């Protein structure tokens, strides 16, 4: 049974805690750009100005796991908050769980209205976990309602070519990508993974 969804930040909130970041310590100041030197730093710093939010543009951060997508997304979210924007961060599966809870509670309309209007919505780790059968429909509704009205930043470790199979609805994914990419910025992250770098060395066993 789904637990009650945590409250969304009130209108006008511009605090780090209200955004719901997974790790409040992940800022651009402590991101190691040297680890993946081919990363488009100029795009990252441009997004950090939050000018894309004023223009109601979107962003996609793509790349393998452990390449800094979530760190960068939260860092940009924090930079936007410092400039007075309301930001909401949710991992994809949590966002959809909260929406399902709102359906049960009879508050879906109110929940969706707040999701649709927050100036910057960060949807993190799309494709990391198995999603409910309503995921394609729900995500498409969110993207369509936000299109040219508010900015969405989505991160994924899956190539966009896999999204149709992942959600089981190629048409919905096509419509979603059309909107995200129309005024969208794409940041490719990788190929080196922090998790591989920091993991203990695997030693071969003697025969």
User: Looking at the predicted structure, is the pLDDT value of residue 130 above 70?
Assistant: yes
CA gap 73, 75 in Å, rounded: 5
Query: Taking the mean position of all CA atoms in its chain, how far away is CA 125?
Result: 6
CA gap 21, 28 in Å, rounded: 14
Local confidence band at 202 (pLDDT 50, 70, 90 cut-offs): very low
Which domains are present in the chain?
36-192 (3.40.50.300)
Q: Which residue has the higher pLDDT, 206 or 176?
A: 176
Quick one: tokens of 53? 């939010």
User: Looking at the predicted structure, is the pLDDT value of residue 199 above 80?
Assistant: no
User: Looking at the predicted structure, is the pLDDT value of residue 6 above 60?
Assistant: no
Local confidence band at 203 (pLDDT 50, 70, 90 cut-offs): very low
User: Looking at the predicted structure, is the pLDDT value of residue 141 above 90?
Assistant: yes
How many secondary structure helices (H) and strands (E) does the chain include?
10, 5
Query: What is the predicted pLDDT for the residue at 169?
Result: 97
The answer to whether residues 186 and 156 touch, using CB atoms and an 8 Å cutoff, is no
**pLDDT above 70 covers what percent of the chain?**
83
Q: Which residue has the higher pLDDT, 10 or 123?
A: 123
> What tens digit of pLDDT does each residue of 73-113 get?
999 999 999 999 999 999 999 999 999 999 999 999 999 99
**pLDDT above 90 covers what percent of the chain?**
73
Can you list the alpha helix ranges (DSSP code H) found in 11-134? 16-19, 41-48, 51-54, 69-82, 92-105, 108-117
The answer to whether residues 152 and 58 touch, using CB atoms and an 8 Å cutoff, is yes
- 33 φ, ψ (degrees, to nearest 5): -70, -25
Average pLDDT over residues 13-38: 77
Report which of 163, 165, 187, 167 is spatially closest to residue 177, judged by C-alpha positions. Answer: 163
Local confidence band at 21 (pLDDT 50, 70, 90 cut-offs): confident
CA gap 190, 65 in Å, rounded: 9
Average pLDDT over residues 168-185: 97
């Amino acid at each position: 049974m789904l637990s009650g969804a945590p409250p969304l930040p009130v209108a006008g909130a511009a605090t780090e805690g209200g955004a719901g970041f997974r790790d409040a310590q992940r800022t651009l100041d402590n991101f190691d750009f040297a680890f993946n030197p081919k990363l488009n730093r100029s795009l990252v710093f441009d997004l950090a100005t939050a000018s894309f939010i004023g223009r109601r543009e979107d962003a996609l951060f793509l790349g393998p796991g452990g390449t800094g997508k979530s760190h960068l997304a939260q860092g940009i979210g924090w930079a936007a908050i410092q400039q007075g924007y309301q930001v909401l961060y949710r991992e994809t599966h949590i966002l959809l769980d909260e929406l399902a809870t709102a359906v049960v509670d009879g508050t879906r309309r109110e929940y969706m209205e707040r999701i649709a209007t927050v100036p910057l919505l960060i949807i993190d780790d799309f494709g990391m976990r198995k999603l409910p059968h309503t995921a394609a429909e729900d995500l498409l509704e969110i993207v369509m309602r936000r299109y040219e009205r508010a900015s969405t930043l989505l991160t994924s470790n899956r190539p966009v070519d896999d999204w149709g199979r992942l959600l089981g609805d190629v048409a919905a994914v096509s419509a979603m990508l059309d909107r995200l990419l129309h005024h969208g910025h794409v940041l490719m992250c990788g190929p080196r993974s922090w998790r591989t770098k920091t993991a203990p060395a695997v030693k071969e066993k003697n025969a």
